[in-house]
Structure 1
Amino acid sequence: MLDAHEFTDSLDAELRSFLTGVDVDLYGKWAQTRGLPATPRVGRHIEFTRTGRRITRRTDGVAALHRDPAAEHVSDMLTRLDEEVERAQRTLPRIRLDEGDLLVLDNYRCWHGRDAHTGARTVHIQTVRTDDA
């Protein structure tokens, strides 16, 4: 797990500006796979809800928008972001969940993943909304 707000705030100004100011296709590399439609999911890595709550996203499926004249720059910035994330991942703590354990994360703030494993994997997602959401 990684506090994505803290992490992205620590990046250099050019990369932060890219994350907050440039639209990308958040799932473009995955179009028509994993059940995702080919329709672009246009957004920015860092956005805010209507009530001002920050959302910091990251996906390995992100791509430049189709026919974006700045596509080369976008690709370069995505590569830089990947390199920074890889550097951070090396030092992240790992959490082992055993049967009956529950992990609660703020998906607007926390980037998370999992290591490869064998055996059954069951995930139940519960959405909790507050007045601020």
Structure 2
Amino acid sequence: MIWFDASLERPADDGLLQSCIAAMLNFSTESVDVVHSISEIKDASVTCIVEAHSPHKYSQLITLYISEPLPRPDVPEAAAHLARTLDRALLLANDETANPYSFVRVSNTGQRSVVLVDPDELDENDRYVIQEPG
């Protein structure tokens, strides 16, 4: 079952993702699979699907799946831990609003703030470009 999606500020390799996700959940690295297609999912406790990335910020999308019998930690707290261990910011969907262009940016220190992304960039180019306030 999908736990959460995040777009990383800059790409992370499979080994780094595996070790940071394991640390976030206090699991062994052997319990975490990092794959690049849904067809590669096996029976690991945690699976991270990594979508291809471009050189642009927030272009690497990760989707975390947790096996059904395992507890699901609080997403904001887990995402803050993941951002700190990866040492990079990430974007999460903002579930507090129906606005599809509103996201929660979790900094590499774990601080959360609500940001808006450029609608045209997201809709036309599938890119998350944070709009500057004002």
User: TM-score, length-normalised on structure 1?
Assistant: 0.30
Whichever structure has more strand as a proportion of its residues is 2
Return the structure number with greater relative CO, CA threshold 8 A, min gap 6. 1
Q: Which protein shows a greater Rg?
A: 1
